[in-house]
Chains A and B, each alone.
Chain A
Amino acid sequence: MFNIGTDIVFIPKIKKILTDSSFLNRVFHEDERTPFTAEHLAGIYAAKEAFFKALGKDPSWLSVHIKGKAPQCVLTPQLAQKIKHTSLSISHDKEYAIAQVLVEL
C-alpha cells in the first residue's frame, strides 16, 4: 500500500527561529543542520512533516533522520519495521520550501 504526504513551509518563519536552540534540538539532528541556512532547515522540516502525514501519525521529529543530497529518510528500528520503502523529494522557491514523501507500507 502506498501513502503520500506533503508539506509546505514559509522560509522567513524558520529564519526567525534559527537561533532558538531548544527548537533546533527538538526537531533536527545535528548533521541535519548543515548547511545552517533557513532554506535548508525549512526543507528538512517540511520533509519530516510530510513523512508523518504520509504515515497518518503525529510527528516524532527525531525518529526520522533526513540524510544526503538526494535526501533519504533514515528511520528508527520501530518505524523501519512497519515501512517497506520511503521516497522523498524537496524543493525551494524564493520564500517557500516544499517536500513530498511517498511511503510504501
Chain B
Amino acid sequence: MNTILELIDSLKEKEGIALTSFNGYRHFHYTYQELYDLASRTAALLDHIGINKKDVVLIWGPNQPEWVAAFLACIIRGAIAVPIDVHNKPDFVEKVQKQTKAKLLITNTPLSQIKSLSLNNLFYALQFPPSQPRECFEKDIVEILYTSGTTGEPKGVALSHKNFCASLLALQMLIKPEKHTVLSVLPLSHIFEQVIGLLLPLQFGARIIYLPSLKPSLLLDSIRKERVTILLLMPRMMELLLVELQCSPLYSFYSLTKTGKLLLAPSLHFIVVGGAPLDNELERAWEKLGFEVLQGYGMTETTALLTCLLPEVHVHNSVGKAVPGVELKVENDEIVVRGDNVFTAYYRNKQKTSAAFSKGWFKTGDMGECDSAGFIYIKGRKKDMIKTSSGFTIYPEDIEAVLKKCSGVRDACVIGIPTRKGEKVHAVLLLENGNPEEVIAEANKQLDEIQKITDYSLWPDRDFPRTPLQKVKKNVVLGIVLGITPKRIAKTQRERLPPLKATIAQLTTKNILPNAQLRDLDFSSLDRVELATRLEQEFLTDVDENELRPETTVADVEKLILKGIREREVHVRRWTRWSIIRLIRVVIQHFLYIVTALLCRRVVKGRENVSGIRGPVIFIANHASHLDTPVLLMSLPFSLREKITPAAWEEYFFEERKEWYWKVYQLFAYNFTTIFWNAFMFPQTKGFRKALRYAGELVDDGWSILVFPEGARTTTGKLLPFKEGIGFLAKELKIPIVPIKLEGLLPILPRGKIIPSPGKVMVKIGKPLSFTTESVVEITKYIEDALKRL
C-alpha cells in the first residue's frame, strides 16, 4: 500500500459495521459501504465548497462518525487535514488558521472569521453524488498535526502518505488481523488514535465504537455490552479505570486469582497503551487482574509507533524493541530514529525542522538506552531534564515516581527552578491527608544525593494543567510556581475531597462546609447551572438546577444527589419485553381489542402511510381517553403493533395520593399498563433524561414508541399545547415521527367517566415526518401543526 487512498478505496469491499456511535441515548451504526459512501459524498461537498488539492481544512470536534467522514473526505479530495483537539480554545484555532491559511473549518462550534461547516449536521448536507478520488502520491501531505507540547509553542508536524503507510505496515506485522471491536478514549486529533484507533481497524475491517464521555463506568459497561476486543487508553485513563475497579468489593479476589479480565471483560484481547509513559506499578496492577497490556512508544513526528512491547514479552521498564521499518540508535544519550514513518518537516518552520534532525536522523528528545537484545529504555525527556548547580543532570520522572509512592501524595510534579548557578529540584505536590514536610523527608531518604528535593510547593488546584492526552504541562506549572512563594501557599493542604466536595470545589475558592449556602460560596446563577451540569456528569444522575438556589446548602445538594441516585432506575421494567411476556400479551391484547371493537366503530384512514416502515418510529397522537391506546394499536398493521411501547405519564402512577382507593388503583393501573400494554414510564416533571435513555435502549432493540405529546387527556376536545419532551425525543433518537389523529373518543370515555358508552371513531394516520437540523422548539411545533392538519 502506497497511499491511504488505497485503504479508503478498499472500504467499499469490506463487510460489516465500521463505526458504532452512542450519543448517550441510542446507538447509530454505519457499515463499511455506508462509510465509504458518506466519505465520498463529503468529498463532493468539499469540492462544491471550492476545496482543491493541497487546500487546508481544519477539523475541530469530538470523536464521531462525521469526523471520520470529514477526515477521509479530505484525503479523497487531496486536501490537507488539520485536526485540532476539542479542548483547544478558539484563539488557538484562529492562530492555526492564520498560519495554514485554512479555507474551511469543520466543527460544532463555528467561528465567525473562518468559513465553517457543521460537523454534527454533516450527513444532512450531503446532497451531491459521490466524488471520484483525485490522484495522489506517496509524498503528498495527508495532514498537519500540531503537537500538544508539554513545553513551548506547538509545532505543526506534516505527515505524508508514505509516513502513514509505513506505520500501518509495521503494525500489521505485530497485530493479528481478526474481526476486532475497538474502543478508544483517545481523541481523533491525536496521531495515536488516528493510526491505531482508526486506520488500522479500518484496514482490518474491524468495528470502532465512539462513546460520548470518558466516564469509567460507561467505559466498563460498553466493553462488556459491545464485546470489545481491543481497548486503547492513555496511562491516566488506566489509573482512573483502576480506581473504578478498586471500588468493587471483589477487587482483591480478582487481583489474587488473576480473574479480573475473565469476569469483567471476557471479550478483551488486550489493552493498548500510549501517549505518555506507563508507570510500572500501574502496568503490574492491570496484569495482576489478568489483562494483557501492549505498550507503545512513539510520537506525532514518527506517525505513532517507534517501539512496541508485546504482552508476552516481560521486560520491565522497557518500551520494547523498534518496530519493523524503524532504525533506532542512541546518540549522546538521546534516542534518534530513522525510517519511512518519520516526518519530513515542521510546517513553515525551517528552523525547528533543521534543529530536530542530525545527519538524517530525527532527534526524539527522549534520553534513553538500548541493551544488547535491542530493548529500549527511556530515562526521561530532554526538555524536562534538570541541570543542578553542581553540574549533574537528573530526570524529574525518577523523583516523581518516588514521590507518588509516598503515603498521602495524590500526584506530584518535579520541575527545575532556574537560579543563577543552575536549577533547583522543586517538587509540586497534590496532597491527600499528607504532611508535606514528612513527604519530602520520606522521598529524599530514597533518592540519591544529587536528586534530593530542595524545596516544594503545594498545588492550589485539584489537578495539574494537562494536555488532551493528560500529560502534565510543566511549563505552565513552572510559571505558576514562580509566581508563588515556595513551601506554603495561602491554602492549607487539601484533605481528600469526596467527589461532591471536589465538584463544588471546581467552582469556588471558599471553604466548603455542609451548612454553607451556595450564595456564601459566591455562586452566581451561571455557576449553579455549571454545577448542575458537572454533578450530572459526576454522579450520572439527573440534577434539576432549579433545586440549586442561592440558599441551598451543601448538605441539601448531597441529599438531592442521593435522592437522584436512588430514583435512577426505580420505574423501569425491562422484563416486559421478554418473548414469553410478549406472547401472553398478544393473546390478552386481542381480547381487549374485541372489547374495544364492540365499543368503537372504527374507520381507519391512511394505513398505507405506515405500510412501508421498517425499523422503529415514534407514533404520536392526541389524547382524549384511556381507550386511545387500544384503538390506535388496533388500527396499525400487526408487525408494527406488536413492537410498540407506549409512553405513560409517570406521575399518574406514582404521584403521592392520600386516598387508599387511589393507591390501589395506581398499583393496579401500573401493572396493567406495563404488562399488558408494554408501557414505559415517561416522567413529565423531572428525570426526563433517564426516560430518554431508556427510550434509546428501546429503539436500539427495535421497538417503536407511542407518545401523547399533550401530556394529559383533553377535556374540551381542543388540542392541548405540546410539551417539548417530544421535540427532544425526535432530535436525539433521530427516527421518523408518525402523527395519528383520533376523533370521536371523547364522548365514549372522557376523563372522569368510568363506564364507556359506544360510539363512532375515526383514526387518521399521517405520513411519517423526518427531521434533520431543526431545533427542539421547531420540531415540537412542526409535529403539532402536522397533527392539527390531519
User: Which of A's residues lie within 8 Å of B, judged by CB?
Assistant: 7, 9-10, 13-14, 17-24, 26-27, 29-31, 33-37, 45, 49, 58-59, 61-65, 74-78, 80-81
Min CB gap B682→A, angstroms: 16
Contact A76 to B525, CB < 8 A, known contacts A19-B87, A31-B775 = no
* Chain A CB within 8 A of B597 CB: no
Tell me if B777 and A74 are in contact (CB < 8 A): yes
27 A-B pairs in the complex with CB atoms less than 8 angstroms apart = A7-B525, A10-B524, A14-B526, A17-B526, A18-B109, A19-B89, A20-B530, A21-B86, A26-B532, A30-B118, A30-B121, A35-B110, A45-B526, A49-B525, A59-B529, A59-B546, A62-B728, A75-B777, A76-B721, A76-B724, A76-B727, A76-B777, A76-B780, A77-B781, A77-B784, A78-B722, A78-B723
Interface residues on B, range: 35 or more
* Chain A CB within 8 A of B127 CB: no
Give the docked Cα–Cα distance between A17 and B533 (Å): 11
Closest B residue to A27 by beta carbon equals B529
Complex interface bits, B110-124 against A, C-beta within 8 A gives 1, otherwise 0: 111000101011000
Contact A22 to B90, CB < 8 A, known contacts A33-B110, A59-B546, A78-B723 = no
B722 contacts across to A, CB distance below 8 A = 76-78
* Chain A CB within 8 A of B378 CB: no
Chain B positions 740-790 with a Cβ under 8 Å from a chain A Cβ? 773, 775-778, 780-781, 784
Tell me if B86 and A19 are in contact (CB < 8 A): yes
Closest B residue to A19 by beta carbon equals B87
- With A34-B116, A75-B777 already in contact, 10 other A-B pairs whose C-beta atoms are closer than 8 Å: A19-B86, A24-B109, A31-B775, A33-B110, A36-B90, A37-B111, A49-B525, A65-B776, A76-B724, A81-B721
B108 contacts across to A, CB distance below 8 A = 21, 30, 33
Contact A30 to B90, CB < 8 A, known contacts A17-B530, A35-B110 = no
Min CB gap A56→B, angstroms: 13
Give the docked Cα–Cα distance between A18 and B781 (Å): 29
Q: Which 3 pairs of residues, A with B, have the shortest CB-CB distance? A: A58-B546, A35-B112, A77-B721
Give the docked Cα–Cα distance between A34 and B784 (Å): 27
A49 contacts across to B, CB distance below 8 A = 525
Tell me if A30 and B526 are in contact (CB < 8 A): no
Tell me if B110 and A78 are in contact (CB < 8 A): no
Give the docked Cα–Cα distance between A53 and B264 (Å): 50
B111 contacts across to A, CB distance below 8 A = 35-37
B536 contacts across to A, CB distance below 8 A = 22
* Chain A CB within 8 A of B537 CB: yes
A9 contacts across to B, CB distance below 8 A = 526
Tell me if B533 and A23 are in contact (CB < 8 A): yes
Tell me if B776 and A29 are in contact (CB < 8 A): yes
* Chain A CB within 8 A of B62 CB: yes
Closest B residue to A16 by beta carbon equals B530
Tell me if A29 and B530 are in contact (CB < 8 A): no
Tell me if A78 and B724 are in contact (CB < 8 A): yes
B118 contacts across to A, CB distance below 8 A = 30
Tell me if B89 and A26 are in contact (CB < 8 A): no
Contact A21 to B62, CB < 8 A, known contacts A13-B526, A26-B529, A77-B721 = yes
